[in-house]
Every structure is written in C-alpha cells, then in structure tokens.
Structure 1
Amino acid sequence: MVTYIVRRLFTAVLILLGASFLVYQLTALSGDPLADLRTSNQPNKEELIQQRIELLDLNVPAPIRYFHWLGGAAKCLVPFAGQCDLGFSTTGQPVTEALGRAMGMTILLVSAAAILAVLIGVSLGIVTALRQYSTLDYGVTFMAFLFFSLPVFWVAVLLKEYVAIGFNNFLREPQIPLVTIIMVSVVSALIWYICARGTVPARLKAAGIGFVLAGGVLWLLSATSWFSSPGLGLPVIAVAGAGVAFGATLLTAGLKNRRALYSSLIMVAVGIMLYFPIQPLLAQATGLMVVLLAVATILLGLGVGYLMGGYDRRQNMSAAVITSFLTAGLVLLDRYMQAWPAYFNNNRVNGRPIATIGAETPNLEGDFWVHGLDTFTHLLLPTIALLLISLASYSRYSRSSMLEIMNMDYIRTARAKGLGERTVVMRHAFRNALIPIATIVAYDIGGLIGGAVITERVFAFAGMGQLFIQALDRVDPNPVMGVFLVTGILALVFNLIADLVYSALDPRVRVKA
C-alpha cells in the first residue's frame, strides 16, 4: 500500500511539472501583459511599465521565468522549506493572498453543492433502481435530465427572479394566498401519488393525505406569521427526532433490532432534555464551540450504542450516532431560526435577506448566528444552481450501477438464503453499487474546486473561477498558475483517494506495489 501511494505521488509530481510548464508558456504567449499600460494616457506611463516589467520579470524569457516561479511554488509544497511564494499579479497583489481568499470562497460554494448532490443523487438513483419502470422512476429520470439540459446561467437567472426577488417581496407581507396553497397542495398530492406503492386506490389515498398535509401546514404557517419569526420548537424537534430515530434504525439495523431502536430514541430524549439547558451556551456560540459540540454528540451516540449491548453493537452505535447528529442539527437549525428576526431587520439587510450577488453582506454586525444566516442566504442560490445541474449524473450512474448489482448471482443467493430485503440492499448491493460512483465523485470534486466559472460570474462570487478568468484576460501568468497548482493537486489527490476507496469497497480490488 505504501509503495503504491509513493509511486502514484511520484507520477503525480511528474505530471504536474509537465502540465504546469505547458500552461505557463501558453499563458505567457497568449498576449501582452503590458497592453493596458501601453494604451494608457497617464503621464508616468513609462515608469508604470518599467515597474510591472520588474515585478513580473518580463525582461526574462518565459521558459526561464517558469523556473523562477517553480522555485517559489516548491516552497508551498515542501514543509518547512520557507515562505510560500507564487509571485505577484499585474496589480501588485501577492498571488497567495488572492488565491487564499478565492479558494475559501470556492470551497464554501462548492462543498455544500457537492455533498448535497452526492447524497440526494445517489439516494434517488438507488430508490429508482429498486422501483424500476415505476412512475417514480420515470418522473425522477425526466426531472434529472431536464435539469441537466438547462444552461446553468438560465437556471441562475430564474432563481434570482423567483427565489430571491419573489421571496423577498413575499416577506414584506408573509401571507400565503389561498390559490398558492391549493396549487402547492396539488403538487404535493402528485408527488405523494408518484412515490406511493400499491393499487390505484391506495395511491389516491396517499395523494389525498399529501394534499391535506401540505395545505394544512401552509395555512398554519401563514396564519401564525411563521415566516416573520420562524422556529421549530421542542414539539417539532421531538416528533422529527423520533422520525429520524426510526429511519436511521430502519436503514442501519432494521426495526427488529430493538436495541438499536432504543439507542436512537435515547439520543432523541437526551437532545430534548438538553434543549433548554444548552440555550445559554448557544447564545455565546463560536465556530470552534459548534465543532466541539458535534464531536461530543458523536461520542455520546457511540457510548450509548455500545452500552446497549446486544449481538451487534456496531448497529446500535451507527443508528445512535446518525440519530444524535441529526437531532443536534435540528436544535442548531432552531437556534438559527431564532436569530432570523435580528438578521431580517438588520440595517444592512434591509428586509431583503435572500442575496443575489456576493458572498457576504458588507459591514454586517451581529453574533455567530447572524453571520451564519448571512453566509447561508448568500450561498443558497448558487448552491441550488449547481445542485440541480449535478443531480442527473449521480442519480443515473447510481441507478444503472444498482440495477447491474441487483441482477448478480450473489444477490439472488442472499435472497434464497432468506435474508430480508433491507439486508440484501443495504449490506450486499449498496456497497458494491458505490464503486463506480467513487470515480464520478472524485472527478467532480477535483473539477469543481477549480471554480464554477459561470455560476461565480452570474452571482458575482469572487472564487477561483473568477480569479482564473480575470487573470487570463490580463495575460497574468502567476494567478493562472496558482489556480492550476491547486486544482491540479486536488484532481490528482482525489483520483488517488478514489483508487483507495475501491479497495475499501470491494475486497477483490487490491492496490499493488
């Protein structure tokens, strides 16, 4: 294993060196970095030209300049070799500063979209594979390819118009019209009908339940002015937590494993009991505190699952950890909702919280929760845009992979031995169905970190994609090489991780020296 990793890393270094040399030369030869100064009417034009020549070493041939850049870049890759130096841009800004800020913005933008796309896309693919040729299968396939075929800039414009501007206008007087309630209820009924199984009368009954639930919830939210002062409250957290407990147990252990179910329900009870005592602590929350609380929640779930005992403690621990983590997430979501009025009425937000441009509200004052809401509202639209475009590939690949696995001999053997459907799907089929998905995830994450260029431009998000495009326009090699260095390393690293994940998912795959 170690020999394999070392060999792959050595090969990656050679690939990076060759590719970086070509990219540097192509960028340097693509135009004149002094073009804007040559056409300038400033009286000190010659001095400015000379300063830029000295700053960027333009009096040195491009191949030799590359090796100067490589010497500084090597300090970024070798620990304790010295200060990282990627040169300067044409504006005189150190590339490390611009790259660090842009990389942080891009990671914020891409991480949420990538995680949600993987979770939702793979889940939809598995479900549609298990219900092949059903109405749900056809509906998900149609919607997936519809979103995949839409241009991302057009999706972004629609999101700005209807999700941002429309919802901000609605928040001025958050009363839901009766026509809207009926339309949403009809859509809900249709979704329930598609997702339900059984005879037509049974599916119509499910559609009726969906219609009544959606209409009742929307009417209640409108009547109580929930959008002006939102919150979950202890009753909703308790009911949702119980649902999470049953769902987590069903997926990880099956409801017949009572110890796993009791472990999950205990974690819900702990979350309910700590709801009020923890509020003063959350009022002084910081990012580090939230991380430490998340770690404590996971450890507590592991401890409860282990102490419950039984023939398979691992199932207890898995169910308890998932339930405790999601229940804690509900408590944090409720705390964010409590901060909504303070954010909504902030002078900088001015009653229009869903942002259409930028990554943050300038000069916003507030605590941890207010700034968290600000980050969420700025990331909402670009995340949805990237999510909708990415869903199709994950859902289609996971569906086809699951269909292939479900027809394998060992799946038929597992069923013939009397194993339950949950065990067959979750323990035997699901793991092997993830093998081809590992390649797609590794490729997409490595590519997305380079910057969702169109999305960043539409939403004025100053990420790595924008930095790369602006540097190309200015014929500025150093920022281009900084972006290339980050994306190249990440692409190679994630492909290595994908190979290692193969060996973890499939015992037949072994990395060899």
Structure 2
Amino acid sequence: MLRFILRRLGVSALILFLGSVFLFFITVFSGDPLEDLRESRERTAQQQMEARTRNMNLNEPWFVRYWMWLTGVAKCVTLNCDLGNDSTGASISTSLVNAAGSTLRLVTLATALAIIIGVTMGILAAIRQYSGFDYAVTFAAFLFYSLPVFWVAVLLKEYGAIRFNNWMADPSVSLTTALIVGLLFGLTIASVLGGDLRRKLVTGGVAALVGFGAMTYFDQVGWWRQPALGLPLIILIAAGAGVLLTYLTVGTTNRKILYSSLTTIAAGVVGWFIFNGWIVAPTYPLLLLMLAIAIVSGIVIGWFWGGWDRNIAIWVSIGTAVAFAGATALDQLLRNWGPFLDRKPRPISTIGSGSVNFEGPFWTEMWDWGVQLILPTIVLTVISLASYSRYTRASMLETIRQDYVRTARSKGLSERVVITKHALRNALIPITTIVAFDFAGLIGGAVVTETVFGWKGMGALFQEGLQRVDPAPVMAFYLVTGTAAVLMNMVADIAYAFLDPRIRT
C-alpha cells in the first residue's frame, strides 16, 4: 500500500508540473499586461509601467519567470512559500491565504452536505425503487443538475436574502402556509418509511399533524426571532441518534448497546449543568475541549457496557455523545439569534463573506460568520447533490442484485443487516471516486458562485489574474486546486482499502 501511494504521488507530481508549465505559458501569452497603461494619458503612466514591469518581472523571458515561481513554490516544503507579487506589488502568499480561507470553508461545507444528503437520498431511493419518493428524488436530481448556477444564485439572493430579510422584520406564518408545510412533511415521511397503504396513511397523517402543530406553535410563541431547543429537545435529539445508531449496527435486540447510549445521554445531561458557563460564553479551545471530554466519556461508557460487542458500543456511545454536544451547541446558537438580529436587523447579506467591523459575543459572531455561508453553500450543494444521489442509487441497485446479497437474504438475515453490512459498503466504493474529483471541481466551479455573491475567494483571485494577464494569481489558484485534487485522490485510495479489505492486498 505504501509503495502504491508513493507511486501515485510521483505520477501526480509529474502531472502537476506539466500542467503548471502549460498554464503559465498560455496565461503569459494571453494578452498584454501593460495594455491599459499604454493607452493611458496620465502623467504617471510611465512610472506605473516601470513599477508593473518590475513587479511582474516582464523584462525576463517567460521560462525564467516560471523558474522563479517554481523555486518559490519549492520553498513550501520548509513552510516558507514565496509565490511572488501580483501586478500591484501585493504579496500573492498573503492574498492566497485570505482567498483560500474563504473558498475552502465554503467548498468544504458544501461538499460535506452534498455527500450526507445526496448519499442518503440515493440509498433511500434505491431501497424504495419505483416509489413516489424515488420518482421525486429522480425528478429533483435532474432538475438541480440542469439548472444554471448563476440563475440559481440570483434567485437565492432575491428570495433567500432580500425577501427573507423583509419577512424577518415581522415574521409570521399564515394558516395556509402551515397546512402546506405539514402536508409536505407528511408526504415525505410516508414515502421514506414506505409500507402498505394503511401504514402510509397513518404515518403521513401523524407527521402532517406534527408539522402543522410545530409551525403553528412556533408562530404563536414568536420562535422565529427568539428560537431555542431547550434541554428536553436536546435529550430527544441525542436519544434519536442513539436509537438510530443502535438499530443500524446491531438492531434492537442487544440491550447493552442501547443502555450504553442512554448512559451517555445521562452523562451529557450532567455535563450540561457542569459546563454551562463554558457553553454560554465559550472560545474555540473550550469547545474543542468539551468535545474531547464528550468523546472520552463515550469511549469509557461504551467500554463499560459493551461486553462482547465492546467496539460497537464504543462507537455508538461516541456518536450519541457527539449528537448531544452538537445539539447543545445548536441550542446556544439559536438562543443568540435574537441578539444577532438586534445588531444586524437584515441578517443575510447579498454581497461579501462577512460584515465589516462586526464585533460581539462568541455566538453572535458565529452567526455573522455562518449566515454568509448559507446562500453560496446552497448553490454549490445543489450542484453536487444531483450527481451524488443518482450515482448512489445506481450503485446501490447494482449491489443489492448481486449473488452474495441474495444469499444473505436466503439465510434469513434481516433487511437492516443485508443493507448496512453487505450492500452499503460495497455500494459506496464508486462514490469515493466522485468525492475526490468533486471537491477539486467545486473549487473551480466556485468562481461563478463567488462572483455572484461578491466573495473575495479563489474565484476572484483567478479572475483578476486572467483580466490583468498576471500569471502569479492564476498559478496560486492552480496550486490550491491541483494539490486538492491530488490529496482527495489519495483519500479516495485509502477509502477504497477501508471499504473493501480485498483492495489492501
């Protein structure tokens, strides 16, 4: 495996090198970087031309300039990168750090959401083949896949920012809207759970009532401007995660795993009171420390209750602890939505990745940091969601028709065991390849999204470099995207070996 990884790294390095030479060459000869100054009538035009020539080393041949860039990149091995200066004399390394930070937080979140939602929808669509849910997922996938990115971004700016901000000034939900939301929620739950007509009517009706009741209750108590979860709902979320993980791993027959999950929730309640001061006014180190405490507690509780299934109990307890911690953080974040609205009455901006000179407590600053991610993240997620759901559905359908899956069913194994332990892992092997290419592709595809939403990220860096015929920003963009492609392919190779042990040999 190590030899294979080293060989892949060598081939990837060669490809990156050849690609960088080609990109540098076509960027340098794509235009005249001094064209705007040659046509200028300003008295300082000549001095500006001399300064730009000096900043971009225009007196040197293109291959000398490339060599200077390459030697600066080689210094990254010692964490002392020197990517040169742009046409204005600004350091590319500084610009790249700021741009990459904006783009990577956007692309990483969009990729994670697309994988989780898309793979889940694909699995459910395969299990419920030719059902209403399957047809709905298929229709949505083709619709999202065919939508132009810039058009979706403009629509989201109109309805997700401008009109949402207007509604948030005096939020209210009409009875008709609550009924529609309840019916949609009921149809979704009924189609996912499946069963005969009677079961669908019962589950759909109950879910519709719950959805309608929740919308009505939220509207009556003014939840839209002062939201919160509260400890009972946090416990319910963690309990749901624990029961789900227990069902997916060993089913409901092994009570020790379930007891391990419930004990973890009890420990979480105790920790909620002990660390309440830290939770209300945290810092990033404190959040990481509390998460580490939750994980360690889950390991200890799982080891105590596990018995013969100790490893499974540990993982279920860790999952329950993380769910409890995440719900607790979400509760505090929601409680600070009102104070955030007081500081920023129109919360979602249509331009930029954050508010200028915004200062406040930890959770309100988190809101300012997060709300700017919502709209561009939705755009990028929608782009990838369609491919993940369709590929997962196709791979899952192909896997569950294999002989070993039919053999597992003939042995009397439950459908849960057949899907989770025999079909799912093998069905996910082709998806890892898509993830590897999609992450790097999203960085490149974010150029349009960042332009629409006014983000100063990698897209803006790349676009400005092309407009100025300046290879330094373009090569910085290539350095990040190319490295991301190589690293994600390496992660895919490692994931292959994890999903299918036969690949290790």
What's the TM-score once normalised by structure 1's chain length? 0.95
Other-structure match for 1:421: 415
Q: Alpha-carbon deviations, 1:280-310, whole Å to 9, x = none?
A: 1123311122122222211211111111132
Q: Does 1:199 align with 2:192?
A: no
Higher mean C-alpha displacement, 352-361 vs 473-482: 352-361
1:303 & 1:273 partners in 2: Cα distance? 15
Secondary structure at 1:398 match in 2: helix
SS state at 1:41 partner: coil
Q: Distance in 2 between matches of 1:364 and 1:480?
A: 31
Q: Shift in Å at residue 130 of structure 1?
A: 1.2
Correspondence 1:41-440 to 2 at 5 A: 41-76=41-76, 78-79=77-78, 83-346=80-343, 349=344, 351-440=345-434
Tell me the equivalent position of 2:38: 38
What is the CA–CA distance in structure 1 between the aligned matches of 2:466 and 2:374, rounded to whole Å? 29
C-alpha separation between the residues in 2 aligned to 1:324 and 1:216?
Answer: 29
- Contact preservation (8 Å) 2:226, 2:335: yes
Compare 278-287 and 431-440 and name the one that shifted more.
278-287
Partner of 2:454: 460
Name the SS for the 1:138 alignment partner: helix
How far is the alpha carbon of 1:438 from its aligned partner? Answer: 0.6
Question: How many angstroms apart in 1 are the aligned matches of 2:498 and 2:208?
Answer: 44
**Does the CA contact (< 8 Å) of 2:268 and 2:294 recur in 1?**
no
Any unmatched runs of 5+ in structure 2? none
Deviates more, 1:100-109 or 1:249-258: 249-258
The alpha carbon displacement at 1:241 in A equals 2.1
Distance 1:424 1:187 in 2: 30
Which stretch shows the higher mean deviation, 108-117 or 238-247?
Answer: 238-247
Q: State the Cα distance separating 1:201 from its structure 2 match.
A: 3.1
In the alignment, the residues of structure 1 paired with residue 268 and residue 226 of structure 2 have an alpha-carbon distance, to the nearest angstrom, of: 23
Q: Distance in 2 between matches of 1:7 and 1:195?
A: 45
| Matching residue of 2:483 | 489
Distance (whole Å) between structure 2 residues aligned to residue 389 and residue 483 of structure 1: 21
Deviation string 1:168-191 (CA, Å, 9 cap, x unpaired) is 112211221222212222322332
| 1:106/1:451 contact within 8 Å kept | no
Cα distance in 1 for partners of 2:192, 2:500 equals 32
Alpha-carbon contact 1:401-1:436 (below 8 Å) kept: yes
Distance 1:45 1:371 in 2: 44
Q: Please state how far the C-alpha of 1:240 moved relative to its aligned partner.
A: 2.1
Q: Tell me if the contact between 2:399 and 2:405 (Cα under 8 Å) persists in the aligned partners.
A: yes
Distance, in Å, in 2 between the alignment partners of 1:10 and 1:235 is: 54
Query: Aligned pair in 2 of structure 1 residues 283, 41: CA closer, same or farther (>3 Å)?
Result: farther
Matching residue's letter, 1:149: S
- Cα deviation per residue 1:185-239 (whole Å; 9 max; x = unaligned)? 2322332343342232332222221221111111100110111211101121122
Q: Distance in 2 between matches of 1:499 and 1:281?
A: 40
TM-score by length of structure 2 reads 0.97
Distance 1:303 1:23 in 2: 53
Separation (CA, whole Å) in 1 of partners of 2:459 and 2:473: 11
Partner residue, 2:8? 8
- Local SS of the residue matching 1:309: helix
- The answer on whether the counterparts of 2:341 and 2:347 sit within 8 Å (CA) in structure 1 is yes
Does structure 1 retain, via aligned residues, the 8 Å contact 2:380–2:442?
no
Structure 1 CA distance for aligned equivalents of residues 59 and 414 of structure 2? 73
Once residues 356 and 209 of structure 2 are traced to their aligned partners in structure 1, the CA distance between those partners, rounded to angstroms, is 43
2:438 paired residue number: 444
- 8 Å contact from structure 2 (residues 100, 457) kept in 1: yes
Greater helix share, 1 or 2?
A: 2
Alpha-carbon distance between aligned partners in 1 of 2:245 and 2:446, rounded to the nearest angstrom = 34
Q: Deviations over 1:68-121 (max 9, x none)?
A: 111111111x226xx311111112111101111010000111111100100111
Q: Residues 16, 197 of structure 1: CA spacing in aligned structure 2 closer, same or farther, 3 A cutoff?
A: closer
Write the distance in 1 (CA, Å) between the matches of 2:497 and 2:336. 46
Alpha-carbon deviation of 1:367?
1.8
Q: 1:240 to 1:13 in 2, by over 3 A?
A: closer
1:255-284 Cα deviation digits (max 9, x unpaired): 111111111111122222222332211233
Deviations 1:374-413 (A, max 9, x none): 1111001111111122111111111111111111111122
Equivalents in 2 of 1:375, 1:134: separation in Å?
Answer: 40
Distance in 2 of aligned mates of 1:244 and 1:446: 32
Distance 1:223 1:483 in 2: 50
Task: Answer whether contact 1:148 1:392 (CA < 8 A) is retained.
Answer: yes
Q: Deviations over 1:423-478 (max 9, x none)?
A: 22111111111100010001111222345111111111111112101110110100
Rounded to whole Å, the distance in 2 between the matches of 1:253 and 1:41 is: 78
AA in 2 matched with 1:60? E
Alpha-carbon distance between aligned partners in 1 of 2:137 and 2:480, rounded to the nearest angstrom? 35
- Other structure's SS at 1:449 match: helix
Give the conservation status (yes or no) of the 8 Å contact 1:248–1:322: yes
| Residue type of the alignment partner of 1:192 | I
Amino acid at match of 1:29: F
Q: Distance in 2 between matches of 1:425 and 1:153?
A: 38
Amino acid at match of 2:230: G
Q: State how far apart, in whole Å, the 1-side matches of 2:276 and 2:354 are.
A: 26
C-alpha contact (below 8 Å) 2:306/2:312 kept by paired residues: no
* Alpha-carbon separation, structure 2, partners of 1:37 and 1:100: 29
Shift of 1:166: 2.1
Tell me, in whole angstroms, the C-alpha distance in 2 between the residues paired with 1:73 and 1:327.
44
| TM-fit CA distance, 1:149 | 1.2
Contact 2:124 2:192 in 1 (8 A): no
Where do 5+ consecutive residues of structure 1 fail to align?
Answer: none
**Which of 473, 481, 494 is equivalent to 1:479?**
473
Tell me, yes or no, if the aligned pair for 1:451 and 1:463 is still in contact at 8 Å. Answer: no
